Amino acid sequence: MERVAAAKRHGKKVTVISTSPAETQRLGIWVGRRLNAGDVISLTGDMGTGKTLFTRGIAEGLGVPRGQGVRSPTFTLVHEYTGRHPIYHIDLYRLRGKELEEIGWEEYLWGEGVTVIEAAEKIEQRLPEERLDVVLVREGVRQRRLVLVGYGRRFHLLVKALAMRGGR
């Protein structure tokens, strides 16, 4: 627990304001281009804040053809896409009971692919320390605040690069 707390304290943070769905998707593409096998991205935010749209961007940044259609995996829990790496798109919004165990989710988390988790707050304690957290907040009909917090060296650098690109 203490180590988790320490890692949290060292999270590096950047805030980006998006004023359109396309902008949120572009930010996802930017992130996706920089991801490696094994990376975990946790997305948190109310309904309709853009978690799925951001994930669509990540998939595109990882080279998934648009035709593979990144949609909300609400009913299936996990969707898989193939880009530069396999992508596991998990949505825990409707998660109940033992479902996580049933899908063998630890294998996704520690596997060869990039794992993107919507409603990740439900399993926060079980996420790897090294990861990128994205919190999406609705600020208007078309405005969203995205707060990205990177844990671990690689994600620190990613957040730093984003800050230099114009986040704040």
Ligand X SMILES: Nc1ncnc2c1ncn2[C@@H]1O[C@H](COP(=O)(O)OP(=O)(O)OP(=O)(O)O)[C@@H](O)[C@H]1O
Among residues 78, 84, 96, which one has the least CA distance to residue 59? 84
Interaction pattern, residues 102-121, with Mg ion; x per rule: CB under 5 A: ----------------x---
**Residue 95 and residue 158: Cα distance in Å, rounded?**
30
Minimum CB separation from Mg ion for residue 28, in Å?
A: 12
44 binds Mg ion (CB under 5 A): no
**Contact assessment for residue 82 and residue 64, using Cβ atoms and an 8 Å cutoff:** yes
Q: Which stretch binds ligand X (CB under 6 A): 32-40, 57-65, 94-102, 137-145?
A: 137-145
**Residue 50 and residue 46: Cα distance in Å, rounded?**
9
Minimum CB separation from Mg ion for residue 51, in Å?
A: 5
Q: Is the Cβ of residue 57 or residue 83 nearer to ligand X in the bound state?
A: 57
Minimum CB separation from Mg ion for residue 22, in Å?
A: 17
115 binds ligand X (CB under 6 A): no
104 DSSP assignment: T
List helix spans (H) across the chain. Answer: 2-9, 21-33, 51-61, 99-102, 105-109, 153-165
- Between the alpha carbon of residue 144 and those of residues 33, 79, 125, the distances in Å are 22, 25, 26
144 binds Mg ion (CB under 5 A): no
**Choice from 51, 85, 89, 131 touching Mg ion (CB under 5 A):** 51
Q: Which stretch binds Mg ion (CB under 5 A): 8-16, 71-79, 101-109, 135-143?
A: 71-79
List of residues contacting ligand X (CB under 6 A): 18-21, 23-24, 45, 47-53, 72, 93, 118, 142-144
